[in-house]
Structure 1
Amino acid sequence: MNQRTTSSSWANGIVQALSLGGVDCHALFDELGLDYQALQDADARFPQDAMTQLWQRAVALTGNAAIGLNLARVMRPGAMHVVGYALMSSATLKESFQRLVRYQRIIAEGADVSFEPDGGGYRLTLAIHGDRLPAARQSAEGSLASTLAFCRWLTDRPLIPLEASFEGPTPEDVEPYQALFQCPLQFSAPRHSLLFRHADLTVPLPTANPELANLHDRFAGQYLARFTDSRITHRTRQLLCRLLPEGEPRRDAVAQLLHLSERTLQRRLHEEGTSFQQLLDDTRRTLAEQYLAQPELALLEIGYLLGFADPSNFFRAFRRWHSMTPGEYRAERLAMGSELVPRDAGHRH
């Protein structure tokens, strides 16, 4: 399973926010098995669940459940990768939010953003998704706080929303929230959101620049276009598919073909939420399902195509994946009268 990831630029923002709250993030990264130096790599990404663990440990260490609001104090364009500069060069906040919806995945894959008319205004809605761990409320609260702070910075005005809504229960101390958002607060709400006046969203931004906006759109679009292809998970899977018919690929051999050290390959796969062995297993499983959709391929032949030297190892692996033998799987699908649809190994969430 490929886990959602967060850009190093956004992770850096989280680290700065936690540091303002008195957290030793270097020690915390070591404790959680995260590479602190990777924060300086613009192309590095961290698993979403690792960010959740950061928030959880920070709250446990400080006792400050509102520590996520510190993101508002460190928010600048660079914290959002190229997206921040695209927002900054937009003509209005409305156009800026539309770009945020379009490019949010670059900042963090675990967040979904929508921006829609609501009554006489517009509502920016945020949903944070975890993988193995439910997302920390500090992540969503910090994202809303930083978004509002960024808007105030962009407009150079004391922008006040009509309403700020949070899914979590009312905190014991609401004063930090009131001081920051300066608007009616709604807790235990159906969604995390900010409701803005239409008039506030259509005022021209001082930083507007149509030429730069087009340039940043191109950069952001190119990043999204190569996002999947540039991920080491995708490149490793492509190699595995090519090498498997020659036998089970070794990790050191794959690393060499990718022009990486074995240790770097391990680290980058971990950043993307997987491991070499897990990726090998997932790739074999997906290819097995594709091959079994081709009746002309014998079961023994499929086993060898998947790099299993001993067919019995293929049968054992397949029983672990599907709790049935390859033959039973093929027969069941044929009996159902449905065509087997190959599943992409990179999209099991």
Structure 2
Amino acid sequence: MKVNQVEREFLRQLISQLEEAGVSREQLFCELRARGVATSGAPQAAFAGSEAIILVETAVDISRDHCLMLGLGQELGVASYGSFGFALMSCASLRESVQLLLRYGQVLFQPSWTAYEHEGGLFLRANVTLGTAAQQQLVTELIFSNLSAVGRSLYENQVESVEGVEIQLSYSKPSHSACYNSAFRAPVTYDCEHSQLFLPPQVLDTPVKTANRSEHVVFQQQCEEILRGLNSVEKTTAAVRQLLIQSAGDFLDIAQVAESLHVSERTLRRRLDAESTNFRATFEEIKDLLAREYLVKTELTVAEIAHLLDYAETVNFRRAFVRWNGVTPSQYRLQQF
């Protein structure tokens, strides 16, 4: 998952919504340029920060649809978030989903969220700070509508319909508040100090309907690699690690990795060497990382883990694991508990 994948998917969905309202892509980009946003209108264009705020406001203005952001939030599905979305889908519960959002949302997405405990429950607060009050309201409509839609896809109606769940918004009730009724199933309160969602204690352990512990290990590690890559000076190694984790279960070989990075195998080897590593060492590091995560976070047998890591024989996996960690997989699992 690229860091700007979400922005590109947001733009694609936004243009689709505008076209349904009779506004062309060309009209949108022409108006953006008139408002000082430099853009070529290329299909892979992406917007972030203040430019994204102007994009949102411009779209609402030229469509004359005050409910546009509420509708757009409903259209952005959990899969729009790439590895992060799949990690959410594989979480065990709402509580774990929130922890995931707090860890990766701070870096990968804007605006970010902050959680505050309250009487056993949780306030999930949106940090919307950029733009004017009117622009902040549009962004708030978008992210809370999307949060609601993603929540329904993960927990069906087991959360929003529970007594005590409440959406609190920091602005006054808008003239188009009727649109909120279709976007939100939970009650909405206006003129609050903060824009936030309150989750009472009885919903925090609501199971995710698509929970899968072994898949969650892989998707969460993909998110970890994205965070690692953002601050890494070893860009080639970080890119190789991401590709290997993404291909877990059917690992790419060095030729396939080189092809994915659009370089020759020789160039890839040279770049890894310049970063004081090599493909085999990086590959084994990823296998060791995933093996330890599977052992601690799942109930998979050693044989099943060996299979997931592409070992034809369990004994070969055991030997490799002992070489990496000095103990057998079973001993390692016992040590963690």
TM-score by length of 2: 0.58
For residue 29 of structure 1, report the CA deviation from its aligned partner: 2.6
Which of the residues 171, 175, 179 maps onto 2:174? 171
What is the aligned counterpart of 2:42 among 28, 37, 43?
Answer: 37
The CA deviation at 1:228 is 4.3
Residue deviations 1:247-279 (CA, integer Å, cap 9, x gap) = xxxxxxxxxxxxxxxxxxxxxxxxxxxxxxxxx
C-alpha distance in structure 1 between counterparts of 2:46 and 2:62, whole Å = 25
Cα distance, 1:120 vs structure 2: 4.6
SS in 2 for 1:128: coil
Instruction: Indicate yes or no: 2:241 matched with 1:213.
Output: no
Q: Which residue of 2 aligns with 1:69?
A: 70
- Match of 2:98, SS state, is helix
1:50 corresponds in structure 2 to 51
User: Conserved in 2, the CA contact under 8 Å of 1:123 and 1:195?
Assistant: yes
User: 2: CA distance between counterparts of 1:7 and 1:173?
Assistant: 26
How far the C-alpha of 1:131 sits from its partner, in A, is: 7.2
SS in 2 for 1:123: strand
The structural deviation recorded for 1:114 is 1.4
| Structure 2 CA distance for partners of 1:29 and 1:6, relative to 1, 3 Å | farther
Partners of 1:120 and 1:198 within 8 A in 2 = yes
Q: Counterparts in 2 of 1:92-171, with a 5 A limit?
A: 92-108=93-109, 110-130=110-130, 135-157=135-157, 159-160=159-160, 162-171=165-174
Q: Deviations over 1:177-227 (max 9, x none)?
A: 123213322222221111123322312212111111111111111111222
- Kindly indicate whether the alpha-carbon contact (under 8 Å) linking 1:72 and 1:145 is maintained by their aligned counterparts in 2: yes
**CA shift digits 1:44-87 (9 cap, x unpaired):** 75232121111111221233223210133312123223211111
Say whether 1:224 aligns with 2:227. Answer: yes
| CA distance, structure 1, for counterparts of residue 11 and residue 107 of structure 2 | 12
Give the root-mean-square deviation of aligned CA atoms: 3.1
Any residues of structure 2 matched to 1:286-301 within 5 Å, and which?
none
- Residues 96/52 of structure 1: CA separation in 2 closer, same or farther (3 Å cut): same
Asked if residue 27 in structure 1 is aligned to residue 27 in structure 2, the reply is: yes
C-alpha distance after superposition, 1:132-191 (max 9, x if no partner): 998532112110111111111112336426211122221013111123213322222221
**Alpha-carbon displacement from aligned partner over 1:13-34 (angstroms, at most 9, x marks no partner):** 4444555555434431343232
Alignment of 1:189-204 (within 5 A): 189-204=192-207
Paired amino acid for 1:152:
R
Q: Which moved more, 1:139-148 or 1:29-38?
A: 29-38
Say whether the 8 Å CA contact 1:66–1:176 is kept in structure 2. Answer: yes
- Give the count of matched residue pairs: 224
* Shift in CA distance, 82/150, structure 1 to aligned 2, threshold 3 Å: same
Within 5 Å, which residues of 2 pair with 1:254-265? none
Give the fraction of aligned pairs with identical amino acids, expressed as a percent: 21
Letter in 2 for 1:208: A
Distance (Å, rounded) in 2 between the aligned partners of 1:38 and 1:179? 31
Alpha-carbon distance in 2 for matches of 1:7, 1:229:
22
